[in-house]
Homo-oligomer: A and B are copies of this chain.
Amino acid sequence: MTPKIRISDVAAIAGVSTATVSRALSTPERVGKDTREKVLKAVRATGYRINAAARDLRQRRAGSILILAPNLSNTFFSRIFAAIQEEASAAGLIVQISDSRIGREKLATLGHDGRADGIILLDGGLDPELVNGWRLPVIQLCEWNAAYDAPVLTVDNSAAAGLAVEHLAGLGHRNLLHIEGPEGNVLATTRRDGFLKAVGDAGIDSAVFEGDFTMESGARAAHRWAALDRRPTGVFCASDECAIGFISEAIRLGFDVPGDVSVVGFDDIEFADRFNPSLTTIHQPREAIGRTGAQYLIGMLSDDGTPTAPDYSIAAHLVTRVSTGPAPQ
């Protein structure tokens, strides 16, 4: 490991003060041409790089925002990440992503000034006391927690669930099943409530199976569904992954989709369109969510005051594909 090079080393080699080196790098126009070249030459010769910790400390900013998500394996997040990345990059900020399930102490440290200037939170399951203790601008995307003292940007999950029910009802299905998300999760709850309200309004029979958004839970639900006497002909899953799990298992059990059962997912992940049968699902504008959220957070960083934001709600829409069809006779 080559010894670390400090700004004073560069200054010594270039024969100038550290202040001049610093200026030559951050505000080149404020340094004489000859001096600038001497400095840059010394920088190249030594391979000097600014020590981020020192700069962050002195400037009281990190030039970066942090995304906290509960599960990095979740395919749903990736497009959101990409959109945030783009917006942040345009604003000269670095994006760091971290798992939000890493223990209280670490989370508190991460969320405190020094390493990041703001936080984008995609997890509604953290301790509100912890989150509200952060002294940084925070914005919640997709998932939220009313106890967090931070603006929210999300789709109207309840209404979206209504769209799914409407679609299935329109196809003649009179007995619907919902496979819900994990207990306590706000998305799971609002989607389920939206489902129940919609079937209630439409006067349709319904049932709810527990699940947890995963393919495995969808597959398990397929078995429970197959064992029923009077099987629902339409299934609304709380996530696309769950829907894919349900369908694949149903097919393995010898059923036809959508011949025997129509399935609607939620999220419209990349695979939804390529799955076989391709998946009818609720499209969440993930790119727009990420982009708008990032813009908003970046705005919070520059404005000094606390811009009390109205919570946005973005429209979601149904994408009709092959996994849903007319109810069997």
Chain A contact residues, CB within 8 Å of chain B: 1-2, 4-5, 47, 49-57, 62, 72-75, 78-79, 81-82, 85, 89, 94-99, 102-103, 106, 108-110, 112-115, 133, 135, 137, 215, 219, 244-245, 247-248, 251, 270-271, 274-278, 306
Q: Which residues of B contact A96 (CB under 8 A)?
A: 96-98
CB distance from A7 to the nearest CB of B (A): 12
| Inter-subunit contact A109/B50 (CB<8 Å) | yes
Task: Tell me which of B50, B112, B278 contacts A50 (CB under 8 A).
Answer: B112
Q: Which residues of B contact A82 (CB under 8 A)?
A: 72-73, 99
This protein's copies in its complex: 2
Q: Which residues of B contact A113 (CB under 8 A)?
A: 4, 49, 51-53
A57's nearest neighbour on chain B, judged by CB, is: B53
A2's nearest neighbour on chain B, judged by CB, is: B135
A–B Cβ pairs within 8 angstroms, 21 of them: A1-B137, A50-B109, A51-B112, A52-B110, A52-B112, A52-B113, A52-B115, A53-B54, A53-B56, A57-B57, A72-B82, A75-B75, A75-B78, A94-B109, A95-B98, A96-B96, A115-B115, A244-B271, A244-B274, A275-B275, A276-B276
Question: 6 shortest A-B CB distances, which residue pairs?
Answer: A52-B114, A53-B114, A73-B78, A49-B112, A53-B56, A53-B57
Q: Which residues of B contact A135 (CB under 8 A)?
A: 1-2, 4-5, 47, 49
CA distance A115 to B57 in the complex (A): 12
A246's nearest neighbour on chain B, judged by CB, is: B274
CB distance from A127 to the nearest CB of B (A): 13
Task: Tell me which of B75, B106, B137, B245 contacts A274 (CB under 8 A).
Answer: B245
CA distance A102 to B251 in the complex (A): 43
| Inter-subunit contact A85/B102 (CB<8 Å) | yes
A47's nearest neighbour on chain B, judged by CB, is: B133
CA distance A73 to B79 in the complex (A): 6
**Additional A-B contact list (11), CB under 8 Å, known A2-B135, A53-B57, A54-B57:** A47-B135, A51-B57, A51-B114, A52-B115, A73-B78, A85-B102, A94-B106, A95-B102, A97-B98, A248-B274, A275-B275
